[in-house]
Amino acid sequence: MALVEISDVHKSFGPVHVLRGVSLEIEEGEIVTIIGRSGSGKSTLLRCLNGLERIDGGEIRVEGKRVHADMPDLREFRQRVGIVFQAYNLFPHLTVERNITLAPVLTGKIAKAEGRKLAREVLERVGLADKIDAYPERLSGGQQQRVAIARCLAMAPHLMLFDEVTSALDPELVGEVLKVMEEMARQGMTMVLVTHEMGFARQVATKLVFMHQGTVWEQGPPAELFANPRTPELKSFIGSIR
C-alpha cells in the first residue's frame, strides 16, 4: 500500500473547476516534485492532502486513512503531514526556540522542559543551531524559511509538503534552503514539493509530476520526462523554463 493514495480527486472554487480527477500514488521515501503552469492546481492539491481544503469528489488516503475536513483526529493528522508555505508565518514576538516548540508543547508531544533540546536538534538539521535565541526580524529570508522547516520537523511528520518555499527568496538565498531539503531527502523523509526549481527536480526528486488543466498530465522519473516529454504540453513547459 502506498503512503499516499489520491483517487479521482475533484475540487472547485465557485465556478472554477481546479482539480479535475487527479489520481496519484506516493510511496514512502519518495521525493515527488510537482511542476506546471500557474493555475494548474498544484498548490490546491497540496492543501487537499493536508486537509486544509475540502475535496468535492474522489478520495485521498494517507497511511491508509481517508483524509477529509471532518475527520475527528484532524489536528493529530496534521502533525504527521507537515506543510511549509512560501510565507514563513513565524511569530515575530517569539524567539526561534519558542516558534519551534510552541506546537509540540501545546499538543502535548513534549514537555515544556524538553523544548530547548528539541529546538536545538531540529535547528542543527537546518544549520541554524546558533540562532536558537534570535527573533525572526534578525534573520534573513532564507534563515526564516529554514526555521519554518525546522518548526515542521519538530512535529516528527511522516510526510512533508512544500508549497513554493523558495519563490519569495532572493536568488542567493534559494540555495541554502534547497540544501536543507536535499539533506532531508538523503535522510529518507517522504516529501512532495510544488516548485519552479528545475535543478532540484532533476537532481533530487525520485518522481516528477506535471500538472496541466487540473489533472496529472504526465508523471515518471525526472531524467526520463525532461529528456523525452511525451506530450506537447510538457515539452512546451520545459522549453519555457530553460
Q: What pLDDT, in 10s, does the model give residues 75-90? A: 888 888 999 988 888 9
Give the helix, strand, coil percentages of the chain, each rounded to 5.
40, 25, 35
Fill in the DSSP letter of residue 67.
P
Distance CA 234, CA 242 (A): 13
Residues of the chain with pLDDT under 50: none
- pLDDT of amino acid 136: 95
CATH code, domain with 108 = 3.40.50.300
- pLDDT of amino acid 242: 62
Count how many domains the chain has: 1
Question: Can you give the residue range of the structural domain that contains 49?
Answer: 4-241
Q: Is 75 exposed, middle or buried (0-12, 13-18, 19+ CB in 10 A)?
A: exposed
Judge if pTM exceeds 0.85: yes
Helices (H), strands (E): how many in the chain? 9, 10
Contact in structure between 105 and 112 (CB atoms under 8 Å): yes
